[in-house]
Structure 1
Amino acid sequence: MKKKMKKFIGLSLAVVTAFSMPLTSSTAIYAETSAVQADPNDDWLHVEGTNIVDKYGNKVWLTGANWFGFNCRERMLLDSYHSNIVADIQIVADKGINVVRMPIATDLLYSWSKGQYPESTDTSYNNADLAGLNSFELFNFMLENFKKVGIKVILDVHSAETDNQGHSYPLWFKGAVTEKVFKDAWVWAANYYKNDDTIIGFDLKNEPHTNTGDVKIMSESAIWDDSDKATNWKRVAQETALAIMAVHPNALIFVEGVEIYPKDGLWNDETTNTSAWTGNDEYYGNWWGGNLRGVKDHPINLGKYQSQLVYSPHDYGPLVFEQSWFRGDFVTADDKTAKNILYTQCWRDNWAYIMEDGISPLLVGEWGGLTEGGDKLLDVNLKYLRAMRNYISENKYKLHHTLWCINIDSADTGGLFTRGEGTPFEGGRDLKWNDNKYDNYLLPVLWKNADGKFQGLDHKIPLGKNGVVLGGNSIDDVKYGDVNSDGDINALDIAALKMFLLGVSQNIDTKAADLNIDNSIDALDFANLKKYLLGSISTLPVK
């Protein structure tokens, strides 16, 4: 151990001498601006292996919830009916939700792209600030308030048309909303918001699925292969993602699955019968958007933009639909066994293999369910929720998630807002915070640092009143001085820090480089690292 220490100090002395030109005050100012008062676009994320990381390569964990309404005929967050929406946004941030998946409709985005701004339902009786705002102004008002409290947004095209049941339609095109309109609307949105990192990514289409009924008509259902068929979701997702990347290469692209997948891998049927009693058992079924088996045979290929891709399944409990895996042994199984049943019968082959095989991280874009009431399946539903919560926790950093949902208005899942038992909050009026749902199922899988503070995804704005900025506090133990994250503190870290200060490279661990913990990377940190390597100080960080 002593020999190794002596060797690395000797090497460091040589490099320190070579780098001993003074850092001018202008250099220090530049460094501070780069790290702390960075431009408004310093929060973009990308994928490295099965992790999502920030611009410096530090792992992040997207842990949030869904908040719908701009996909509906009201064209606004529906909780505006019941409360002060700004107060709602504040409590969502205070409760540690670092990202909101925000559903919208293609026809609304397309209208905005053409300079047409449909009106939203007037809720100014609860929200004076919303008076007179059209749908586009209202949407941007929401974004500004998310930004103020450190919440990031994933924009989700939930349906082709603004319709409260629009998600029930299986495809991304419908009537006047053609495939071209779908793509054009996305490219416009990406281009418009490319300089605002409040929206960190785009979920291209919510829950592509099949037509209703046991007999599935392939011309009316989403498929996944390498064909040029109009209903091939894999083709459309890939083409749309590449069109988005051409104007906004910093955004994350979230691609959901389909509903069914052929057991022989061939989509050569015009129809198929999926009935459990009279069906032909030729397709694997799953939740809408939850079947990503096709990725194994036909992965999305974004070429040089592959590092922006995240696959995104949906998964629910029996109170949304009593799938086959919720029957039989699951009913009486203990929690560990129940989770294994879900893993082996659903999660592993439909989507978990994607992170396990190193293909991509995952975002479970929707999960959740009712946690109160008298339904006969409630206990089984709670068992499912515990299993999913625990599985997410076990796969921290690889498995990201957004709970369905914040809204009070979701009939089959309930929301984090409630009129039942819960805690009132200022501005909530007749809304309360659902402590049972939050404390038992969401809170355990929110991103927190070692001090228990909620970890935000913004490098400058803390997450609500109970959170910290990204890089403000370490989530795991920080090895201060290991600037290049190779596990050692040596001459290479001096070199990496110098390149950062000179503006040559931004690829450092900013937490490890903030050696005096003042939330800036500057000449003082460089000096402290030199002192440590020379042996004049014995510990890092310097407090």
Structure 2
Amino acid sequence: MKRSLSLSFLLATLIVLLIASSLQVLAAAPEAGETNDDWLHVEGTNIVDQYGNKVWLTGANWFGFNCRERMLLDSYHSNIVADIEIVADKGINVVRIPIATDLLYAWSKGEYPASTDTSYNNADLAGLNSYQLFNFMLENFKRVGIKVILDVHSAETDNMGHTAPLWVKGAITEDIFKAAWVWVANRYKNDDTIIGFDLKNEPHTNTGDLKIMAQSAIWDNSNRATNWKRVAQETALKILEVHPKALIFVEGVEIYPKDGIWDDEQTNTSPWTGNNDYYGTWWGGNLRGVRDYPINLGKYQSQLVYSPHDYGPMVYEQQWFRGDFPTASDAAAKKILYEQCWKDNWAFIMEEGISPILVGEWGGLTEGGDKLLDSNKKYLRAMRDYILENKYKLHHTFWCINIDSADTGGLLTRGEGTAFPGGRDLKWNDNKYDNYLLPVLWKNNQGKFIGLDHKIPLGKNGVTLGGGSVVIKYGDVNTDGNIDAIDFALLKAYLLGGNPAIDTKAADLNLDGAIDSIDFAVFKQYLLGAVQTLPLSR
């Protein structure tokens, strides 16, 4: 009897110590929004969160850190924090931010080039260098529930740097390109505000009809310096070695040989005098090579998303915008685009279960008197409808938020629109937003915008990830509607290495993204009455 009492006392002491140690760990846990639990990965043609819930990336582009000003350019005209807040309030759950390799590489070396001073509009930005300014923007994106995709838009900080065809230029070599990416991945691997990296914006050819392969991006299995498939795969693997939770977005090239073999040193692509040996499309929009030479990331394959770009005729009047397109019905126009451009250049990737797609850039002008405006709006309606038809496997970031894009215009405008606090001389372009972007933003059944953060709602009009679409009854690990000793026993068996069928989302009782002894201790306290509600509120 004496021995039995001692054993009971020992067991009770162990439980108390477990609970006490668990509480100490919980007390030291990060604040809400800082739990680093919003990483995403790919399952089939879906992008999912760590619990396996499908997500839909529905965002927009915001450029400036790729330019000589080294800032979001709308800082010139408005309060940039107010701009970030309205972007969140309008339901944009991810922002693709272009940046330049030389800026990232400078930061990696402890060098911090200055940004243009806009403190006359933004007192909070006074004295901040480019690195401090970038982190200030990230903090504000985090605060309002917006996630970020970082995009190397050009080798050099140059407002026209994107016109250079490759990821190398001047002092920026392939090794520096890779080193800059590894540094930024390592720097932000514990901050899930940046959920992924678009390795290089729009690899393409040299200018003119005569395409010189030594100056142009190609896609095959060779070791050629201009082989974008090789460089993208090698860079992605280096990134994922230090940051295995990041999504990797790989764009296409511009042209692809009809026989799949890159055996020409040069080719003439003129529609009148050319060789007609290559398929052409938008810069970065040609992913035909994925069929012949897919990106292979080995154990990291679940982090890969292919990402073409696509535009309307006011950016460039491609051949599919001629002929029947101008007079076609919307349904017929969409069919033309699908059959002559989308299907074979990139849509086959999601249709055949290879990967989801993120259309990294689409958009265009919606006002003015250009003769191609009606066709441009027809294109926008077609892309909008195609995205909606392929929800969850077709993600997108609209080009763009900025007022500064001459050939597409922006969601911010000085024309017709709605003024907003802090916008000063900028307005929100209601026409463009309401008709083309709003229908393809992620919303729940109540019309609330769904963010990609599990803790922070998306702006004033949104909900957290899971907060508007998935109801989790924490503690009910067998999903029978009750929270009781059966759930507790199942959780214990799970932690001891058994394989009971439990809802792991419901078992994460302290919302740290892991199922462990802390959750077991919290459940024990709940059954004893020491904890009143689940999940544990911190």
Range class of TM-score, shorter chain? 0.7 to 0.9
1:207 paired to 2:202? yes
From the superposition, tell whether residues 427 and 36 of structure 1 become closer, same or farther in structure 2 (CA, over 3 Å).
closer
Cα separation, 1, equivalents of 2:496 and 2:71? 42
Asked if the contact 1:31/1:503 (under 8 Å) is kept, the reply is: no
1:447 paired to 2:447? no
The one of 221, 224, 246 aligned to 1:229: 224
1:53 paired to 2:55? no
**CA deviation string 1:162-196 (max 9, x = no partner):** 00000000000001000000000000000111111
Cα separation, 1, equivalents of 2:205 and 2:501? 44
Could you say which residue in structure 2 is the equivalent of 1:163?
Answer: 158
From the superposition, tell whether residues 128 and 482 of structure 1 become closer, same or farther in structure 2 (CA, over 3 Å).
closer
Asked if the contact 2:491/2:520 (under 8 Å) is kept, the reply is: no
From the superposition, tell whether residues 353 and 31 of structure 1 become closer, same or farther in structure 2 (CA, over 3 Å).
farther
The one of 99, 111, 115 aligned to 2:106: 111
3-state SS, counterpart of residue 233 of structure 2:
helix
Matches within 5 A, 1:35-434: 40-434=35-429
From the superposition, tell whether residues 299 and 141 of structure 1 become closer, same or farther in structure 2 (CA, over 3 Å).
same
Letter aligned with residue 361 of structure 1: P
From the superposition, tell whether residues 118 and 214 of structure 1 become closer, same or farther in structure 2 (CA, over 3 Å).
same
Could you say which residue in structure 2 is the equivalent of 1:4?
Answer: none
TM-score by length of 1: 0.86
Asked if the contact 1:500/1:507 (under 8 Å) is kept, the reply is: no
Asked if the contact 2:417/2:427 (under 8 Å) is kept, the reply is: yes
3-state SS, counterpart of residue 239 of structure 1:
helix
From the superposition, tell whether residues 31 and 325 of structure 1 become closer, same or farther in structure 2 (CA, over 3 Å).
farther
Cα separation, 2, equivalents of 1:50 and 1:485? 28
Asked if the contact 1:110/1:181 (under 8 Å) is kept, the reply is: yes
Could you say which residue in structure 2 is the equivalent of 1:15?
Answer: none
Asked if the contact 1:483/1:496 (under 8 Å) is kept, the reply is: no
The alignment-based identity, stated in percent, is 77
TM-score by length of 2: 0.86
Letter aligned with residue 189 of structure 1: V
Cα separation, 2, equivalents of 1:230 and 1:185? 18
Displacement of 1:286 after TM fit? 0.7
3-state SS, counterpart of residue 65 of structure 1:
strand
Displacement of 1:510 after TM fit? 6.9
Displacement of 1:137 after TM fit? 0.4
The one of 485, 491, 496 aligned to 1:498: 491
Matches within 5 A, 1:442-481: 442-474=437-469
- Structure 1 stretches of 4+ with a deviation exceeding 3 A read 22-39, 478-491, 493-497, 499-515, 520-527
Asked if the contact 1:455/1:467 (under 8 Å) is kept, the reply is: yes
3-state SS, counterpart of residue 187 of structure 1:
helix
Letter aligned with residue 155 of structure 1: L
Cα separation, 2, equivalents of 1:512 and 1:336? 44
From the superposition, tell whether residues 416 and 506 of structure 1 become closer, same or farther in structure 2 (CA, over 3 Å).
farther
Displacement of 1:40 after TM fit? 2.7
Asked if the contact 2:491/2:507 (under 8 Å) is kept, the reply is: no
Give unmatched runs, 5+ long, in structure 2: 1-14, 528-538
Asked if the contact 2:475/2:487 (under 8 Å) is kept, the reply is: no
Cα separation, 2, equivalents of 1:393 and 1:470? 19
Q: Aligned-pair RMSD on alpha carbons? A: 3.4
Cα separation, 2, equivalents of 1:155 and 1:91? 20
Asked if the contact 1:483/1:510 (under 8 Å) is kept, the reply is: no
3-state SS, counterpart of residue 153 of structure 1:
strand
From the superposition, tell whether residues 524 and 450 of structure 1 become closer, same or farther in structure 2 (CA, over 3 Å).
farther
Asked if the contact 1:55/1:507 (under 8 Å) is kept, the reply is: no
Displacement of 1:472 after TM fit? 1.3
Asked if the contact 2:474/2:505 (under 8 Å) is kept, the reply is: no
Q: Which has the higher contact order (CA 8 A, sep 6+)?
A: 1
Asked if the contact 2:250/2:305 (under 8 Å) is kept, the reply is: yes
Displacement of 1:508 after TM fit? 7.2
How many correspondences in the alignment?
504
From the superposition, tell whether residues 264 and 481 of structure 1 become closer, same or farther in structure 2 (CA, over 3 Å).
same
Cα separation, 2, equivalents of 1:227 and 1:488? 57
Asked if the contact 1:263/1:284 (under 8 Å) is kept, the reply is: yes
From the superposition, tell whether residues 485 and 175 of structure 1 become closer, same or farther in structure 2 (CA, over 3 Å).
farther
**CA deviation string 1:88-147 (max 9, x = no partner):** 000000000000000000000000000111000000000000000000000000000000
Asked if the contact 2:491/2:502 (under 8 Å) is kept, the reply is: no
From the superposition, tell whether residues 80 and 37 of structure 1 become closer, same or farther in structure 2 (CA, over 3 Å).
closer
Asked if the contact 2:477/2:487 (under 8 Å) is kept, the reply is: no
Letter aligned with residue 446 of structure 2: D
Stretch moving more, 499-508 or 60-69: 499-508
Asked if the contact 1:227/1:235 (under 8 Å) is kept, the reply is: yes
Could you say which residue in structure 1 is the equivalent of 2:6?
Answer: none
Could you say which residue in structure 2 is the equivalent of 1:11?
Answer: none
Displacement of 1:473 after TM fit? 2.0
From the superposition, tell whether residues 348 and 62 of structure 1 become closer, same or farther in structure 2 (CA, over 3 Å).
same
3-state SS, counterpart of residue 498 of structure 1:
helix
Letter aligned with residue 282 of structure 1: D
Cα separation, 2, equivalents of 1:39 and 1:430? 35
Give unmatched runs, 5+ long, in structure 1: 1-21, 531-543
Displacement of 1:32 after TM fit? 12
